[in-house]
Amino acid sequence: MGINGKIAIVTGASSGIGRATAILLSKNGAKVALVARSKENLVELSSLLPESFVVWADLLKETEIKEMVKKVYKHFGRIDILVNNAGRGYHVPIMQIESKKYSELFDLNVIGPLIAMQQVVPIMEKQKKGVVVNISSGTSLMQIPGIAAYSSLKRALNAISLTAMEELKENNISVCLVYPYITKTNFHKNLINGGRWSMEENDNLPKIDTPEYVAEKILEAIDTERAETFAHDWMKR
């Protein structure tokens, strides 16, 4: 799908990959609905993006997700692209996973994108075209000790997305996955368990990607409508 003139929703748009994606979409001619909980950051970003629209929403709450989609549709009159980017991590060994925190992470990383998708798809069906991009993680393709909680939920999102791609393709709607690698954002400083993980302390890691690089991959997914887009070739199944 082309970008110019399209209406796009980006969740988690206040920083990191979401912010970079919103900026790149706008540069390519899209009108962007910026969605997050951080009012100040969204207002600042909106001032930089022509015809953008700010919607403050807590994506842990089903009612707010539904209301967000209604507001965007009422404002723009259509929705062509949904980028489900909002999410958090939870990095602990399996024996230390707390069910309450895991459940909260499930609501944000899986249920939230699912509800958003369920709300926009009927709109896209009426328009006879649409693209949903769900942001997964390269860790969902690996077995890395300490991040089973996070990676397992991204695997659930993978399954939902790939199945939705098959179910909706006859309606001319594409559901695409993007698998980022480690990206230089605040993600690892805002883990749900309050932990912190420093990229700078891991000298043996390959080069860390920028949010702008991942944003390019997201636009590539929108353009090609491929089921899966990987940050790096070595990540492919």
Set out the domains of the chain in order of their start, with CATH numbers: 7-235 (3.40.50.720)
pLDDT of residue 190: 46
Q: Are strands 7-11 and 31-36 parallel, antiparallel or unpaired?
A: parallel
Edge-first strand order for the sheet with 31-36 is 53-56, 31-36, 7-11, 81-84, 130-135, 173-179, 228-230
Can you give the pLDDT of all 237 residues of the chain as single tens digits?
999 999 999 999 999 999 999 999 999 999 999 999 988 999 999 999 999 999 999 999 999 999 999 999 999 999 999 999 998 888 899 999 999 999 999 999 999 999 999 999 999 999 999 999 999 999 889 888 888 999 999 999 999 999 999 999 999 999 999 999 886 655 444 444 544 444 444 445 557 889 999 999 999 999 999 999 998 876 676
Strand partners, 228: 177
Q: Is 150 a catalytic residue?
A: yes
pLDDT of residue 222: 98
CA distance 87 to 85: 6
What token pair was written down for 178?
């993007």
* From 90, 102, 150, 181, active-site residue: 150
Phi, psi of 222 (to 5 degrees): -60, -40
CA distances from 171 to 4, 121, 124, 167 (A): 22, 10, 9, 8
